Amino acid sequence: MQSPATKKDAAFDAILFDVGGVLLTNGWDHVERTATYDHFGLSEGDRGEIEARHPAEYDLLERDTISLNEYLERVVFFAPREFSRFAFLATMLSQSQPFPGSAMAVLQELAEDRPCLLGLLNNEGALLHEHRMEAFGLAAMFDAQFSSCYLGLRKPEPKIFQRVKQMLGERRPRILFIDDRIANVEAAAAAGFTAIHFTGEHELRAQLVQLGVL
């Protein structure tokens, strides 16, 4: 098998995938939070207070400025609870699941062929990110992991895309990026990436065929 650096007929030098909403369900978005609140029977008042505290602290978590333990202390366990932190964390992690129509099968095909460097570019806290990488076998399929928790930057900030370009270097100038959020797609395109707005496996395959990837 030729290495990503020597395969000369590749359409791109690197293909980067978002994770939540593309390969797996989101890690800790509103749907996952609501399911967790339901599981523990949290009142509307508790939910409202947690949701009010969530955005600022989650931004810090995804940049690895605070730990998940600190996030939970500030956002959920600021008041006494009838459930443990361990039980809450376990339920939180269980929200990550495959979903029908994801890009997982496409990634698996590319990982078998290795047409170029395969990587991820996502926003995620470290513990949740690493759980998802191991639990669903993603770590073995990626050559590089450009996660917000490692870079201290978040999409759609322009600087994260510039940093990724610098890290990939001049040998890999042609970068394809796949994300389900249009703001991230637009920011990547502005940074010089070829960017695909992911809406489903069928549509992605058609776009990759058009681009000469599949």
Would you state the pLDDT for residue 137? Answer: 97
The answer on pLDDT for 2 being more than 50 is no
Would residue 44 count as lying in a domain?
Answer: yes
Q: How far is CA 9 from the centre of its chain?
A: 28
- Please tell me whether the overall predicted TM-score, pTM, comes out greater than 0.95 for this model: no
Residues 123 and 44 in one domain: no
Q: Do residues 104 and 200 share a domain?
A: yes
- Residue 4 falls inside a structural domain: no
* 127 and 22 housed in the same domain: yes
Tell me, yes or no, whether 148 lies in a domain.
yes
Task: At 76, give phi and psi (nearest 5°).
Answer: -110, -45
Which run of H or E residues covers position 16? strand 14-17
Output DSSP code: residue 140: G
Can you give the pLDDT at residue 10?
Answer: 86
Domain count, the chain: 2
What is the per-residue pLDDT for 154?
Answer: 98
203 lies in the same domain as 120: yes
Between 4 and 25, the more confident residue is 25
pLDDT at 71 over 70: yes
Dihedral pair phi/psi, residue 150, rounded to 5° = -95, -30
Output the domain CATH number for residue 77: 1.10.150.240
Q: Look at residue 60 and tell me if it is in a domain.
A: yes
Record the tokens describing residue 148, joined without a space.
């917000």
pLDDT at 205 over 80: yes
pLDDT value for 186: 98
Which among 152, 149, 92, 159 has a CA at the least distance from the CA of 124?
Answer: 149
How long is the chain? 214
| 138: CATH | 3.40.50.1000
CA 76, chain centre distance (Å):
23
The pLDDT tens digits for 146-183 are 999 999 999 999 999 999 999 999 889 999 999 999 99
Asked if pLDDT for residue 47 goes beyond 80, the answer is yes
Task: With beta carbons less than 8 A apart as the criterion, state whether 131 and 93 touch.
Answer: yes
Cα–Cα distance measured from residue 193 to residue 119, given in angstroms and rounded to the nearest whole number:
14
Residue 48, in any domain of the structure: yes
Q: Are residues 177 and 112 in the same domain?
A: yes
Question: Is 115 strand, coil or helix?
Answer: coil
Same domain, 90 and 114: no
Q: Mean pLDDT across the stretch 79-95?
A: 98
**pLDDT classification of 5: cutoffs 50, 70, 90:** very low
- Examine the domain organization and report whether 68 and 80 are in the same domain: yes
5 lies in some domain: no
Q: Are 23 and 107 in contact (CB under 8 A)?
A: yes
Range of the structural domain that residue 73 is part of: 30-94
